[in-house]
Chain A
Amino acid sequence: MTSQVSSPAEQAVPAEQPSGAAVPSPVDAGPPPAKEVRRLDRVIIRFAGDSGDGMQLTGDRFTSETASFGNDLSTLPNFPAEIRAPAGTLPGVSSFQLHFADHDILTPGDAPDVLVAMNPAALKANLADVPRGGEIIVNTDEFAKRAMAKVGYATSPLEDGTLDAYNVHPVPLTTLTIEALKDFGLSRKESERSKNMFALGLLSWMYHRPTDNTEKFLRKKFAKKPEIAEANVAAFRAGWNFGETTEDFAVSYEVAPATSAFPAGTYRNISGNLALSYGLIAAARQADLPLYLGSYPITPASDILHELSKHKNFGVRTFQAEDEIAGIGAALGAAFGGALAVTTTSGPGVALKSETIGLAVSLELPLLIVDIQRGGPSTGLPTKTEQADLLQAMYGRNGEAPVPIVAPKTPADCFDAALDAARIALTYRTPVFLLSDGYLANGSEPWRIPEPDELPDLRTRFATGPNHTLADGTEVFWPYKRDPETLARPWAVPGTPGLEHRIGGIEKQDGTGNISYDPANHDFMVRTRQAKTDGVTVPDLTVDDPSGTARTLVLGWGSTYGPITAAVRRVRAAGDEIAQAHLRHLNPFPANLGDVLKQYDRVVVPEMNLGQLATLLRARYLVDVRSHTQVSGMPFKAAQLADVLKEAIDD
């Protein structure tokens, strides 16, 4: 058999390692099943097909089944920017990778154990990632001469020995689906569309996934077209039964729920963008302020706009603006009016918003700028991930315009990061960057659902009366008189009698806020705004160094947390020592960061850019760091990162 089953040794150490040799083990409970069932600790499945084949939906459903079964999981959707790229071509291939396990895992996995290839293009585009011995399910119906020629197969890879090293399951998915639906009175084309559900049914059988929710989901999704709903359910069941009855699939697999990996609680599966949306709604509730989103659609941030638009019953206002500039402009206007204001975008949108972010810095109003980073420059890779907006967030404005930066590390962590960004914005009356990315946005993982009363109190106070006494005893309101501790200025919203005041982008006189071109005042105000940002309270960096004697530190930020942690586990499992730390706050840095960096002989900084954090660290702490970079649009692979860390340790 293939490499699905991890060795007992690996199972003892829940490390993210390449699966080892097959060790079949009988199931201990119940009557002997008709077919052999093997128990695995982890599996990586990749569904791949044409953009129109419904691979994202298939992956989502398999994920949902897996989540409700209680496995730990991590997903990686990967699709072209074109809505429908030319059919059957390599650029048109869309895939969805899912890693699930009976223990806690950190990444969608490096290499799929199972590849489902719906056509020759999907096979060709993904084959190189499948380790030898891996399992490949192919839809043989699509391997016609022309389709194969389109992607450069002169002979059929199913017959010419290309796949000899793999465990191939040739399945005529299209024919079987059409046959299963012959009584539904659908056209051939309509029937064909359900072939992804046939594949899902087959995989659900192979991995003992619960199926009720998928059937419910299909009936709800196609509620307006009941015959299509029933056809999809029928195809799904046919796929399941095919696995159960056909000789080709002799073995099915069990991956036990990952109960021991999780603290007690109620869990759900959640993607980064959904967690971030919920974080914003929760932050508004905890601040007791209305949420206002000004946004312009952009991949991969649009789902936040879509999600928040659904929740008007929470008092959430969403405004789809005419452009990125108006999106943040409206948000800033709402912030002036006393809302928890947010704008959501990706890198190109941040570029357009820069001037308004500078205004927000100058006005000192709370504002969240959510940047779901993607490949750049310019339009770049809209559907692929990257971390290359760090320096844009840090410095991409005219003048000295410091903005705090918060970065979530996993999809579920986007929830907490949103609350944290809101805390900083409201406490310090400042715009705050929330730097997520495409990998976090679309990837998903289990999330322990917090009780609303566990959430932090974010309530803030609007100014209600005079805050300053003039020499003659007159009580006045000074819009730029600061809180001595936070250096925040008062938030006086229109509608408050007696506090009428004017703010603007021109430099303001300290205290009064009146226009001032006084050189000394400008110098003072620039330094004060910087001091306010530098003074934002962020927790110290914690270092994971089990032995306390490691000489090498790996330091990351944002979405590289999963791959880095997986790589660290590999390194440690191999007997080496390495310390790990991960930055949530990029501006200001944690106060102890400099000391942490100096404690280690070598510091490795992996980033999905050309070394932006490394540049900041070198400039700030005069510490050399080893920058390890990758800008392929894809997340790091744990195995490769482990090699990089090992090299640094041995150096």
Chain B
Amino acid sequence: MTEALKLVPKAEAQQTMKDFKSDQEVRWCPGCGDYAILAAVQGFMPELGLARENIVFVSGIGCSSRFPYYMNTYGMHSIHGRAPAIATGLATSRRDLSVWVVTGDGDALSIGGNHLIHALRRNVNLKILLFNNRIYGLTKGQYSPTSETGKITKSTPMGSLDAPFNPVSLAIGAEASFVARTVDSDRKHLTEVLRQAAAHPGTALVEIYQNCNIFNDGAFEPLKDRDQAKEAVIRLEHGQPIRFGADNDKGVVRDQATGDLKVVTVTPENEGDILVHDAHAASPTTAFALSRLADPDTLHQTPIGVFRSTNRPVYDTQMADQLEAAIEQKGKGDLGALLAGNDTWTVVG
């Protein structure tokens, strides 16, 4: 088992997807992308082989945040934006748990933006699944911090003025050690990304493009439509040249003049220049540049997969180490001695 999960007790018997389904009726809108993600997560969990009682899902508020109710694990549906903070308290005090955060674009990037970036920089052992549908669903259709500029919604009848966040760029800027992007409808890819996230020691952020068929239907269609996807999706695989396109004829190269990345048509002359994806690179520079390739309006040239997966010290491990070091240096705490301190006097009765 990986470093990330070595303290979490293992399941005694083989588990199945059914073990992870709670008895609660799933109440998302019919056709919601959340169903596919729920099925993928429930289907993936048995693979981890962890004791179910040592898995916790914590969520904030929003459609996606109903997720924990449907998982037959421990769970908490908390308050808007605060799930990373609550999960941090749980994960740092209970290293025998596998703690997952389920959040949405509004929950994680708007009201909870502060907690998200700080969880990422601390590198607490959390797996954060960010369901990004680029819209507010639960409040019925206002634009979100990932909506494209000019979005016409109930609260922006003349078009939204805000420039959107790119969650992957944001996470890399916040010192995230693991950042990935995947799509609700691509179960195989989603599962593979979850697999890598679960194995990562520290905070893993997984952005999942998720369709809201009520308020923002088809938002990710360019990535899902078989024909369009060939030109729109760039699949990142560690150690592989970054190529895509109908005949795999496009590639990503570094612009020698600016250092930035650009897409070229692959020719025998430039084939050797095609960037080989290195998710484990110590520097976040290239991962960040990859996150900027996508056009926020058309979604063309959208990389999916693991952008960055690097090892750095894990907060909860270090916190536990400090406790141990304190005991080594000072001995286990003696309450009587603590209360007495150094300056006392005695009154005889």
A494 touches B74 (CB 8 A): yes
B56 CB to nearest chain A CB (Å):
5
Task: State the interface size on chain B (CB cutoff 8 A).
Answer: 62
Q: A329-B85, A329-B115 are in contact. Are A336 and B90 (CB under 8 A)?
A: yes
Find chain A residues with CB under 8 A from B344 CB: 68, 266-268, 449
Q: How many A-B residue pairs have CB under 8 A?
A: 209
B115 touches A70 (CB 8 A): no
A467 CB to nearest chain B CB (Å):
16
B82 touches A282 (CB 8 A): no
Q: Nearest chain-B residue to A326 (Cβ)?
A: B85
B52 CB to nearest chain A CB (Å):
6
B78 touches A359 (CB 8 A): yes
Contact with A along B324-349 (1 / 0, CB 8 A): 01110111110110111101111111
A339: CB under 8 A from chain B?
A: yes
Tell which of B24, B88, B327, B338 touches A326, judged by Cβ atoms closer than 8 Å. B88
B79 touches A337 (CB 8 A): no
B89 touches A356 (CB 8 A): no
Find chain B residues with CB under 8 A from A265 CB: 346-347
Q: Which A residues, 334 to 377, have Cβ-Cβ distances below 8 Å to chain B? A: 334-339, 341, 355-356, 359, 363
Q: A452-B339, A494-B74, A502-B69 are in contact. Are A321 and B94 (CB under 8 A)?
A: no
Find chain B residues with CB under 8 A from A504 CB: 68-69, 75-78
Q: A326-B115, A333-B58, A514-B24 are in contact. Are A266 and B78 (CB under 8 A)?
A: no
How distant is the Cα of A330 from the Cα of B89 in the complex, in angstroms?
4
B219 CB to nearest chain A CB (Å):
27
A337 touches B94 (CB 8 A): yes
Find chain B residues with CB under 8 A from A312 CB: 322-323, 325-327
Tell which of A281, A323, A325, A503 touches B338, judged by Cβ atoms closer than 8 Å. A281
Q: A267-B344, A326-B88, A503-B77 are in contact. Are A313 and B82 (CB under 8 A)?
A: no
Contact with A along B68-107 (1 / 0, CB 8 A): 1101111111110010011111111110110000000000
B22: CB under 8 A from chain A?
A: yes
Tell which of A264, A339, A449 touches B339, judged by Cβ atoms closer than 8 Å. A449
Tell which of B61, B73, B87, B331 touches A333, judged by Cβ atoms closer than 8 Å. B87
Which of B330, B340, B345, B346 is packed against the most chain A CB atoms within 10 Å?
B345
Q: Which B residues, 2 to 42, have Cβ-Cβ distances below 8 Å to chain A? A: 9, 22, 24
B110: CB under 8 A from chain A?
A: no
How distant is the Cα of A451 from the Cα of B69 in the complex, in angstroms?
47
B85 touches A337 (CB 8 A): no
How distant is the Cα of A264 from the Cα of B347 in the complex, in angstroms?
5
Find chain B residues with CB under 8 A from A182 CB: none
Find chain A residues with CB under 8 A from B349 CB: 263-264
A497 touches B51 (CB 8 A): yes
A484: CB under 8 A from chain B?
A: no
A403: CB under 8 A from chain B?
A: no
How distant is the Cα of A91 from the Cα of B132 in the complex, in angstroms?
52
A70 touches B345 (CB 8 A): yes
Q: A266-B340, A329-B86 are in contact. Are A317 and B93 (CB under 8 A)?
A: yes
How distant is the Cα of A491 from the Cα of B22 in the complex, in angstroms?
20
A57: CB under 8 A from chain B?
A: no
Q: Interface on chain A toward B: helix, strand, loop, or mixed SS?
A: mixed
B68 touches A502 (CB 8 A): yes
A643: CB under 8 A from chain B?
A: no
A506: CB under 8 A from chain B?
A: yes
How distant is the Cα of A257 from the Cα of B341 in the complex, in angstroms?
20
B89 touches A503 (CB 8 A): no
Tell which of A278, A292, A322 touches B93, judged by Cβ atoms closer than 8 Å. A292
How distant is the Cα of A278 from the Cα of B333 in the complex, in angstroms?
12
Q: Which A residues, 239 to 285, have Cβ-Cβ distances below 8 Å to chain B? A: 257, 259, 262-269, 278, 281-282, 285
Find chain A residues with CB under 8 A from B327 CB: 312-313
Find chain B residues with CB under 8 A from A330 CB: 85-86, 88-89, 92
Find chain A residues with CB under 8 A from B85 CB: 294, 321-322, 325-326, 329-330, 333
A185: CB under 8 A from chain B?
A: no
Q: Nearest chain-A residue to B319 (Cβ)?
A: A317
B22 CB to nearest chain A CB (Å):
7
How distant is the Cα of A449 from the Cα of B78 in the complex, in angstroms?
41
Q: A311-B333, A359-B78, A502-B75 are in contact. Are A332 and B323 (CB under 8 A)?
A: no
Find chain B residues with CB under 8 A from A322 CB: 85, 114-115, 118
Tell which of B96, B333, B340 touches A449, judged by Cβ atoms closer than 8 Å. B340
Tell which of A313, A319, A452 touches B89, judged by Cβ atoms closer than 8 Å. A319
B74 touches A502 (CB 8 A): yes
Q: Nearest chain-A residue to B96 (Cβ)?
A: A495
A496: CB under 8 A from chain B?
A: yes
A356 touches B82 (CB 8 A): yes
Tell which of B58, B77, B93, B335 touches A506, judged by Cβ atoms closer than 8 Å. B77
A515: CB under 8 A from chain B?
A: yes
Find chain A residues with CB under 8 A from B115 CB: 322, 325-326, 329
B54: CB under 8 A from chain A?
A: yes
Q: Nearest chain-A residue to B56 (Cβ)?
A: A494
B53: CB under 8 A from chain A?
A: yes
A475 CB to nearest chain B CB (Å):
15
Q: A497-B53, A502-B69 are in contact. Are A67 and B330 (CB under 8 A)?
A: no
Tell which of B75, B89, B323 touches A315, judged by Cβ atoms closer than 8 Å. B323
B124 CB to nearest chain A CB (Å):
10
A500 touches B332 (CB 8 A): no
B345 touches A333 (CB 8 A): no
Find chain B residues with CB under 8 A from A269 CB: 343
B79 touches A356 (CB 8 A): yes
Find chain B residues with CB under 8 A from A355 CB: 79
Find chain A residues with CB under 8 A from B88 CB: 319, 321, 326, 329-330, 333
B338 touches A505 (CB 8 A): no
Q: Nearest chain-A residue to B82 (Cβ)?
A: A329
Contact with B along A484-528 (1 / 0, CB 8 A): 000000000011111111111110000000110000000000000
Find chain B residues with CB under 8 A from A495 CB: 9, 51, 53-54, 94, 96-97
Q: Nearest chain-B residue to A453 (Cβ)?
A: B336
Contact with B along A303-325 (1 / 0, CB 8 A): 00000000111110101011101
Q: Nearest chain-B residue to A494 (Cβ)?
A: B74
B326 touches A313 (CB 8 A): yes
Find chain A residues with CB under 8 A from B79 CB: 355-356, 359, 505
Find chain A residues with CB under 8 A from B330 CB: 313
Find chain B residues with CB under 8 A from A325 CB: 82, 85, 115
Q: Which A residues, 42 to 65, have Cβ-Cβ distances below 8 Å to chain B? A: 64
A213: CB under 8 A from chain B?
A: yes
A359 CB to nearest chain B CB (Å):
5
How distant is the Cα of A514 from the Cα of B341 in the complex, in angstroms?
49
Tell which of A281, A326, A497, A503 touches B335, judged by Cβ atoms closer than 8 Å. A281
B114 touches A323 (CB 8 A): yes
A450: CB under 8 A from chain B?
A: yes
Q: Nearest chain-B residue to A259 (Cβ)?
A: B347
Find chain B residues with CB under 8 A from A264 CB: 347-349
Find chain A residues with CB under 8 A from B61 CB: 505
A282 touches B339 (CB 8 A): yes
Q: Nearest chain-A residue to B332 (Cβ)?
A: A313
A336 CB to nearest chain B CB (Å):
6
How distant is the Cα of A265 from the Cα of B319 in the complex, in angstroms?
38
A290: CB under 8 A from chain B?
A: yes
A200: CB under 8 A from chain B?
A: no
A68 CB to nearest chain B CB (Å):
5
A197: CB under 8 A from chain B?
A: no
A331: CB under 8 A from chain B?
A: yes
Find chain B residues with CB under 8 A from A515 CB: 24, 69
Find chain B residues with CB under 8 A from A282 CB: 335, 339
How distant is the Cα of A290 from the Cα of B333 in the complex, in angstroms?
12
Given contacts A336-B86, A337-B97, 12 further A-B contacts (CB under 8 A): A67-B343, A263-B347, A265-B346, A313-B332, A315-B323, A326-B118, A329-B78, A330-B88, A452-B339, A500-B72, A502-B22, A502-B75
Could you give 12 example pairs across A and B, Cβ below 8 Å?
A64-B343, A213-B343, A259-B348, A313-B326, A315-B323, A319-B89, A329-B78, A329-B82, A329-B85, A333-B88, A502-B68, A504-B76
